[in-house]
Structure 1
Amino acid sequence: MVNGSCLCGDVKFEYQGEPAMKAACHCLPCRKTSGTTNSYNLMIPSDKYKILSGSLKSFTRKGDSGKNVTYNSCQNCPTVLYVQAEALEGLNIVKAGTVDDEDVFNNLGKPKAEIYTKNRPSWCDAIPGAEQKETS
């Protein structure tokens, strides 16, 4: 089991197994929710992810595909814990920075893909060995 939480500690979660995919995303919403050049996302099967405590609030927008993208945040602090995209049914897009165990976090390794590279700042280098995609 991997455990994680939000900034204030109210929402706690766990997931089982290895991520189906690990990707750095440079899309504008990820830049805005992370406050930096990208977000590091772990694609976890929805049935392997469980909220243990706390309350979530959700915000939904239309993604580039025209399908809904829902951001699930702590009700008390601004932490986005995971995202659900209709285009990626059955997966929770978990924000890697919410993983609590430093050993697990450090052993995640680098993302296997970088997406929305069309939005990557010119001063930000590509991740060596990661698949590069201009969109999702």
Structure 2
Amino acid sequence: MAKGSCLCGDVKFEYQGEPAAKAACHCLPCRKTSGTTNSYNLMIPTDKYKILSGSLRTFTRKGDSGKDVTYNYCQNCPTVLFVQVEAMPGINIVKMGTLDDEDAYEGLGKPGMEIYTKNRPSWCDPIPGAKQKESS
């Protein structure tokens, strides 16, 4: 069981099992929420993810598909813990950087896919062996 939390430590979570997928995303919203060139995302089935403490706030926007994308973040600090995408029901897109367990973090390895590579900076090399997709 991997555990994680937000920056201030108010929200704590855990998930069971292995991620259904691991992807680096270079879309503009992921760049903005991560403050860097991409976000590293773990696709965790909703029934395997549990909030242990703290309260969340949400922000919803329309994705490229026209469907809702909802960001779940701590009510006290700006940490986005996971995202829910209407186009991917039953999946929490968990931000890898929120994991506290260094062994789990290391054990995840590199993502198997990079998406929105059309937004990847030219100086940022593709992840070796990862599938490359220009959009979602």
Using the size of structure 1 for normalisation, the TM-score is 0.99
What is the CA–CA distance in structure 2 between the aligned matches of 1:120 and 1:88, rounded to whole Å?
A: 23
The amino acid of 1:89's aligned partner reads P
CA distance in 2, matches of 1:123, 1:75: 35
SS of the equivalent of 1:87 reads coil
The total of aligned residue pairs comes to 136
Distance (whole Å) between structure 2 residues aligned to residue 40 and residue 112 of structure 1:
11
Give matches, 1:1-136, under 5 Å.
1-136=1-136
Q: Identity across aligned pairs (percent)?
A: 82
Look up the equivalent residue of 2:62 and give its one-letter code. K
Instruction: List, as ranges, runs of 4+ consecutive aligned residues in structure 1 with deviation greater than 6 Å.
Output: none
1-structure distance, mates of 2:112, 2:80? 22
For 2:40 and 2:79, how far apart are their aligned partners in 1? 14
Uncovered stretches (5+) of structure 1, i.e. residues with no partner:
none
**Counterpart-to-counterpart distance in 2, 1:89 and 1:66:** 15
User: Deviations for 1:62-98, whole angstroms, at most 9, x for unmatched residues?
Assistant: 0000000000000000000000000111000000000
Alpha-carbon distance, 1:107 to partner: 1.2
**Gap runs ≥5 in structure 2:** none
Measured in 1, the distance between the counterparts of 2:42 and 2:121 equals 22
| Deviation digits for residues 22-53 of structure 1 (CA, Å, limit 9, x no counterpart) | 00000000000000000000000000000010
